[in-house]
Chain A
Amino acid sequence: MATRHDAALYALLTGSATLNAMLGTVTSVWKNNAPEGATMPYVIFAESGGGRDNRFAGDHDDVTYSVKCVADNDSNGGIVAEAAAEQIEALCDRPASVSMSDSWVERATTVTGQFSYIEMAEKKSYTHAGRLVRMRADK
């Protein structure tokens, strides 16, 4: 289940010229965490909850992701990460049109929350800013 949503969300994020320009490269989108030494800023998406919804007849998925930008505060990380989060919202709060595999059809992709925080690590600080993105699909 997660694979088809992962692929759809990855395609949505990497398909945006605006977000790519903010990140500097199309390869700056990662699932769960970035490889060690990855160049910031980058985008991380991770499943936060939900899954198969068995309350109704038929096949339904209802998955919520956290999608965030991580940026180094030595390079205006706060501004960069918040701007990228705004772009993530623009991409992910939208009418259904994401392609999915195995005949699944996206029903709706919506932003349901937002978050922002500072991480301190080894005398450096990083801003994490993102959105909670809910993806629903039927088959």
Chain B
Amino acid sequence: MSRVVVKFNHLPRVKRDAPRRASELIRALAFEHERYVKQSFGASPSPVGGPPGVDTGALRASIRVEMTDALTAVVSDGVNYGIHLEFGTSRMGARPFMVPALIWLARNVVRIASDIGWEG
């Protein structure tokens, strides 16, 4: 017969801290996304398929993070032509900047979680 003795029961603490730690991770991911997007911008004019080039800097300066609730972060730009650059127009090929950052984020989520103290 096996017998298990729990000497250190951390489950109450894990349960108590989980919402706060999840919120911290969401926040960290959102700010990493914002940082990646802003750093990806190159020189203007930019090639089709690459991130936008900086002309006035208005698009780059408008990118921001908003925590809409504890577990939801929105990364957005504040110019009306952002989506035209992201997906293109009838006369211009796309210069994606949000989607590439999202893909990079998905590949780096474990490292980012580790950076804010999450253990594997």
A residues bordering B, Cβ < 8 Å? Answer: 32-34, 36, 40, 44, 46-50, 53, 55, 62, 64, 66, 68, 70, 115, 117, 119, 121, 126, 128, 130, 132
Contacts and interface: CB of A to CB of B under 8 A. Distances in A.
Contacts of B107: 53, 55
A74 to B, nearest CB: 13
Nearest to B94: A46
B96 interface: yes
Nearest to A34: B90
A6 to B, nearest CB: 11
Interface stretch (B14-22, B25-33, B98-106): B98-106
A64 B88 contact: no
Contact of B90 (A32, A66, A70, A130): A70
A117 B92 contact: no
Contacts of B62: none
B10 interface: no
B93 interface: yes
B83 A115 contact: yes
Interface of B: 48-49, 83-84, 86-94, 96, 99-104, 107
A119 B94 contact: no
A134 B49 CA distance: 16
A66 B48 contact: no
A121 B90 CA distance: 9
B49 A66 contact: no
The DSSP consensus for interface residues of chain A is: strand
Given A32-B49, A47-B49, A49-B104, A119 B84 contact: yes
Contact of B48 (A32, A34, A128): A32
Nearest to A63: B103
A32 B93 contact: yes
A121 B96 contact: no
Nearest to A113: B99
B23 to A, nearest CB: 24
B90 A64 contact: no
Contacts of B96: 46, 48-49, 66
Contacts of A119: 84, 89-90
B42 to A, nearest CB: 15
